[in-house]
């Protein structure tokens, strides 16, 4: 960085910023940045890249100027050829005079067009350089890597929130399921049977709720907490009261 210290000078930065001519910064290598890079109109990664940017634009303008100049010259020669042909056919002094005047006017017109073309090309070159500088500045401010990093952070945060929310919902559902299972098991007839009770069915499978629904000699089936058994009724008593 000691080699680049001269380009980190505040006075130099102010001079570059106030320059009316476009300034292209191409100091050091692509990874090296100085204050001059941030105040210049355009930053190139290397000096050779800066030369290519500047000369390519200039060459395009020069090629366009040369092409237009060639067209103008061809047009001039074409009109001059026709004028000479007319002069040869007429062979009159007046025609020669008019032809010379016409050629002179054409020459003046060609000079005028060439001057206007050069002026227009210079303006377009300056405008293109300014637009390139503006676009380069916008591109630096809209670095895609920054947007990608921000999006990745947001995605990671959203994923973490989703995982926490899913875990909370799953825990709540599991708690509710455990409570419902406990209540269901408490209300299950099987649980009642495990405490010493039994379900008694008649021979046709009808659940008996009273001793009057069967009679001595009939076969009954009892379901216990574990297993079933069959028995024969020897007597019934419908008057027995429950002890309090």
* Inside any domain, residue 169: no
Range of the domain at 219: 196-232
Same domain, 99 and 219: no
pLDDT of residue 228: 86
What total of structural domains would you count in the chain? 2
* Inside any domain, residue 138: yes
Tell me the angle at which helices 93-141 and 47-90 cross, rounded to the nearest 10 degrees. Answer: 160
pLDDT of residue 71: 85
**In contact, 62 and 79? CB cutoff 8 Å:** no
Same domain, 126 and 38: yes
**In contact, 53 and 24? CB cutoff 8 Å:** yes
Residue 75: HSE in the Cβ half-sphere, 13 Å Cα cutoff:
11
**In contact, 132 and 22? CB cutoff 8 Å:** no
Same domain, 56 and 137: yes
* Inside any domain, residue 175: no
* Inside any domain, residue 159: no
Give the pairing of strands 199-201 and 219-223.
antiparallel
Same domain, 128 and 218: no
* Inside any domain, residue 72: yes
**In contact, 233 and 217? CB cutoff 8 Å:** yes
51: left (phi over 0), alpha (psi -120 to 50) or beta: alpha
Mention every residue, 6+ apart, whose C-beta is less than 8 A from residue 39.
13, 14, 16, 17, 23
pLDDT of residue 3: 65
* Inside any domain, residue 119: yes
Full-model pTM: 0.27
pLDDT of residue 225: 72
Same domain, 8 and 93: yes
Same domain, 206 and 109: no
Same domain, 15 and 109: yes
**CA 82, 88, 91: angle at the middle one, nearest 5?**
130
pLDDT of residue 192: 67
Same domain, 124 and 12: yes
* Inside any domain, residue 68: yes
Domain end marker among 115, 150, 185:
150
Q: Chunked in runs of 10, what are the mean pLDDT values of the chain (244 residues)?
A: 70 84 74 79 77 75 80 85 73 67 85 85 84 80 72 88 90 89 72 75 85 84 84 82 50
Report H helices in the chain: 10-18, 35-39, 47-90, 93-141, 144-187, 189-194
**In contact, 8 and 36? CB cutoff 8 Å:** yes
Same domain, 130 and 211: no
pLDDT of residue 244: 41
Same domain, 216 and 102: no
Same domain, 38 and 105: yes
Residue with tokens 């090629």: 63
* Inside any domain, residue 99: yes
For residues 171 and 19, what is the distance between their CA atoms, to the nearest angstrom?
A: 68
Same domain, 16 and 137: yes
Domain end marker among 119, 150, 181:
150
H or E stretch including 155?
helix 144-187
Domain end marker among 87, 119, 150:
150
């Amino acid at each position: 960085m000691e080699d680049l210290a001269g380009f980190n000078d505040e006075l130099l930065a102010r001079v570059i910023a106030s320059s009316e001519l476009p300034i292209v910064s191409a100091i050091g290598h692509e990874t090296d940045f100085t204050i001059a890079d941030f105040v210049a109109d355009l930053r190139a990664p290397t000096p050779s890249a800066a030369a290519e940017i500047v000369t390519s634009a200039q060459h395009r303008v020069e090629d366009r100027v040369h092409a237009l100049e060639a067209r103008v010259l061809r047009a001039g020669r074409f009109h001059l050829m026709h004028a000479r042909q007319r002069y040869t056919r007429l062979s009159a002094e007046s025609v020669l005079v008019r032809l010379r005047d016409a050629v002179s006017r054409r020459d003046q017109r060609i000079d005028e067009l060439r001057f206007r073309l050069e002026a227009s090309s210079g303006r377009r070159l300056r405008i293109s350089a300014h637009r390139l500088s503006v676009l380069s500045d916008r591109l630096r401010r809209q670095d895609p890597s920054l947007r990608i990093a921000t999006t990745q952070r947001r995605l990671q945060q959203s994923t973490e929130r989703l995982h926490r929310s899913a875990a909370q919902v799953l825990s709540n559902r599991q708690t509710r399921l455990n409570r419902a299972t406990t209540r269901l098991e408490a209300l299950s007839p099987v649980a009642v049977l495990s405490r010493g009770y039994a379900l008694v069915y008649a021979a046709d499978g009808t659940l008996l709720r009273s001793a009057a629904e069967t009679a001595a000699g009939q076969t009954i089936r009892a379901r216990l907490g574990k297993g079933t058994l069959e028995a024969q009724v020897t007597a019934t008593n419908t008057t027995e009261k429950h002890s309090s």
